[in-house]
A and B are shown apart, each in its own frame.
Chain A
Amino acid sequence: MNATLASAAVVVRRTIAASAEELFDAWLDPEALAMWMRPGTIRSTVAKVEPHVGGSYEITMLGQSGPIVHKGVYRQIERPKRLVFTWASPGTELRDTLVTVDFVCVDKRTEVIVTHEQLPESAKSAHSIGWTRGLEHLDEACAQGLLK
């Protein structure tokens, strides 16, 4: 219970003898994803990736009882430091959750930190409000530009 009380997110770290760039790229390359996004009982994995902010991805793991589809949208792509994307799968009841991957250089190695959290409803609406406001500003800017 104490682990739950300490944090509402899953945080997993691993220090790997490779550069941040090499590791970062393995998250956005479909061929690489097919190789390492393949847990124990999965026979093969197929990945489709649109590697830009707002772009979507789809990772299909072929399990013994059929395909398991993982989907999401990239929210932040800061090569080679940080990658943020939503993650929905049968394991999350097809609800969007949020995965943040940080790449931190440690001497000649890189610490990869995965933080996986549930996406609060309030944050989701705040996010859409943010977008709407952004678009309004854009409209204003365009209108002002036209007036001048």
Chain B
Amino acid sequence: MGEYQSSRLDGVFNALRDPTRRAILARLTDADARVTDVASEFPISLNSISKHIRMLERAGLLRRSIAGRDHVLSLNATPLAEAQAWIEKYRRFWEGRLAALEHYVTNKKRKRE
């Protein structure tokens, strides 16, 4: 992993931090959709939906193709896989550490008793 990838990972995690953006991605896992369709499904203004979409595009999570007047959005799952790998690595790390913490603290108690 290089500098480029880690800064991209920052962007991905920032993008995923917001529930509306997560919902937009979840919507696109089913099928590609037009911007106007996505906007109509969320109870917020077209302007704020556009901002969320631009942020997802910058994070590399969305692709936009333009067909005539329609802007069609599709999901790009590659950066998600990188984020998932990071999450998996640290999930295993902390699970291991908490098991060791339990072992350490309970052993210490047993010695005292």
Give residues in A with beta carbon < 8 Å to B. Answer: 1, 3-10, 12-14, 16-18, 22-23, 26, 32, 35-40, 91-93, 95, 112, 114, 116-118, 120-122
Contact = CB atoms under 8 A, between A and B. Distances in A.
B50 interface: no
B106 A116 contact: no
A38 B99 CA distance: 11
A10 to B, nearest CB: 4
A31 B27 CA distance: 49
Residue among A4, A5, A93, A95 with the most chain B CB within 10 A?
Answer: A4
Interface SS majority for chain B: helix
A36 B107 CA distance: 12
A23 B95 CA distance: 15
A112 B17 contact: no
Interface residues of B, number: 39
Interface of B: 1, 3, 6, 9-10, 13-14, 16-17, 22, 25-26, 29, 77, 80-81, 83-84, 86-87, 89-91, 93-106, 108-109
7 contacts: A6-B22, A8-B16, A36-B103, A91-B93, A118-B9, A118-B10, A122-B14
Contacts of B14: 8, 118, 120-122
B94 A121 contact: no
Nearest to B75: A1
Contacts of B1: 93
Given A16-B106, A26-B101, A1 B80 contact: yes
Contacts of B104: 26, 32, 35-36
A7 B83 CA distance: 11
Interface SS majority for chain A: mixed
Given A18-B105, A23-B101, A39-B97, 14 more contacts: A1-B80, A4-B87, A12-B95, A16-B101, A16-B106, A32-B104, A35-B100, A36-B103, A93-B1, A116-B94, A118-B10, A118-B14, A120-B13, A120-B14
Nearest to A12: B94
